[in-house]
Amino acid sequence: MASTSTWQAIAARKQKQRQSRIPTEWMLASPPPPTVTNVLNVPRTCGILTTKELEITEQHDAVSLSSYIRSKKYTAEEVTVAFCKRAAVAQQVCNCLTEIFFNDAIARAKILDQEFLRTGAAVGPLHGIPISLKDTFKVKGFDTSIGIASLAENAAQENALLVDILLEAGAVIYCKTGIPQTLMALDSDNNLFGRVLNPRNRLVTAGGSSGGEGALVAMRGSILGIGTDVGGSIRIPAMCNGLYGIKPSAQRVPYVGQEGGTRPGAAKIALPSSAGPIAASLRDCELLLRVVADAQPWEKDPAVAYGSWEEQGSIKETKRPLLGVIRTDNLIGPLPPVSKMIDETTERLRDAGLEVVEVDAPAFKRCQSLANALFGVDGGNFMFDLLEKTGEPLIKWLSTRIRRKEQMSLDTLRDLHAKKVDLETEMLKIWKDPQTGRTIDAIICPVAPHPVPPLDRWNGASYTSSFVLLDYPAGVLPVRDVTETDLTEELIEGNPLGSWDRANKELWNPKTIDRKLYLDTMLSIQVIAPRLQERRLYQAMEIIDEVIRGKTSLEKAKL
């Protein structure tokens, strides 16, 4: 149907369909006007959720919910209904959902409850846990349109492998979430469903390309979301929405059964995406990665590397953890609040008894240009073909940034991969402390060179895409809110490092931006580990997070 309709007609039908899947009794009587920028409190005050449903959605993470379901304090149905309701409210204030299948989810939860009652045993480690998915994941019976009109109205015939793994583990899948057109923008806006809004501050970006997941989890409309990342698309929404997010190495979580708007096999010659968790709890990220590893996905997806969770690296108890810090990529200098937050975090880690060494990474600045080159292997032609089937235009932000190009030649592609190997080899040096020769367990650095910016003003992804190029697992931890004091910090005088740096400075220039916009946003740090060392990454994030939250010192940080 989609190929014979205009994109406007398809968009109208899809939005009408989405609206029809929200029960009338879950509709807000009076949605907050656009002048209300922080909408986090709406689910609590709208009267749609019961007291128990508010408790379920606000006082738990996935780990504790699992315990409550197994101890029969909650049923899977109660939990699923609560999150479906809250997701419905989130959609009405943040426009974060694409596909809605609440009825199917509630029916599955009832079956899980019946099975639990009959056998006395949980179906799996995620028994009764509702999980939301980025729109890229195929779910049988529902569209995987990725915000492109020509891909709409064409229901998937089977599930993505990761969806089947989650279902076999007992999870309840209940909705999919918004993304940007082409998946290559850092603000989640498309012609089919519209723009995702950030519930902490609807004037700033929710991030992309997993922006819908970020907004939904921030609204507590999801306890655990799954996004994908090829340039920062898990980590950027995690930062924008004050959440935890982990981008694994590309061979760690199965990716088959995704719709990415590219030709099959394209990722093998460009940069492969990773799938991973976005959550309000760090241990929920670990839960998801452990469940996937325990499912032995390498038996069903040849691209997945072998390795149980216990085999995915570790920071040994027998030695003192050594952390590194990279303060800048020397391509885009961090703005004052970001630099200040990195300084504060480093100081707190040292005060807690951890060793933190400065890391010199001169090759870091070369990663972004190489990553950008590998993003453009097919010249964008496949995506432009999809758009032109219905006459769909590029969204405004992309309209001046991408265009059709010639497909890259084999010689050019080969040369780029040769440069990638050289860069990967040179960057291995960052994992050794030159003073002592010790191995650095994990490295902290900015997620971005700026705080969460206004809509459509994210400036560069060099701090995130570089670790896709290198295939390092990387995670994001929320640190603290931007404060009034932060807004008084001024830039150090000096010439811009380049055009990206010049644009970045404009995000702190009082002549071009009202800094008060940043007050309802959170500052976050990025943590990285060597390739395929996801457990090592998680352990480092756990230590750092406990120090940030004031819960531990080195003596208590036993792994």
Just list the catalytic residues. 134, 209, 233
Query: Does residue 209 have a known ligand-binding role?
Result: yes
DSSP H or E run through 340:
helix 336-351
Query: Torsion angle of alpha carbons 135, 138, 139, 144, nearest 10°?
Result: 50
Task: Report the run of H or E that residue 275 belongs to, with start and end.
Answer: strand 274-279
The tokens for 439 are 């191995």
DSSP secondary structure letter of residue 382: H
Rounded distance between C-alpha atoms, residue 380 and residue 455, angstroms:
24
Cα–Cα distance, 479 to 223 (Å, whole number): 20
| Residue 339 annotated as lining a ligand binding site | no
Q: Check the annotation: does 232 bind a ligand.
A: yes
What lies within 8 Å, CB to CB, of 204 at 6+ separation is: 198, 240, 452, 453, 454, 455, 517, 518, 520, 521
Burial zone of 234 (CB within 10 Å; 0-12 exposed, 13-18 middle, 19+ buried): buried
d(CA 354, CA 350): 5
Question: In the chain, helix, strand, coil percent, each to 5?
Answer: 40, 10, 45
Cα dihedral angle (496, 497, 501, 503), rounded to 10 degrees?
50
* 260 known ligand binder: no
Q: Is there a binding annotation on residue 170? A: no
Q: Which amino acid is at 176?
A: K
Three-point CA angle 533, 338, 447, nearest 5°:
30
Q: For residue 548, what are the contacts with CB-CB under 8 A and spacing of at least 6?
A: 345, 348, 477, 479
Q: Annotated binding residue at 233?
A: yes
Amino acid at 452: V
Residue from 449, 266, 460, 448 nearest 374 by CA: 266
Q: How far is CA 453 from the centre of its chain?
A: 17
Strands 442-446 and 522-528: antiparallel
Point out the annotated binding site for substrate: 183, 209, 230-233
Binding-site residue numbers are 183, 209, 230-233
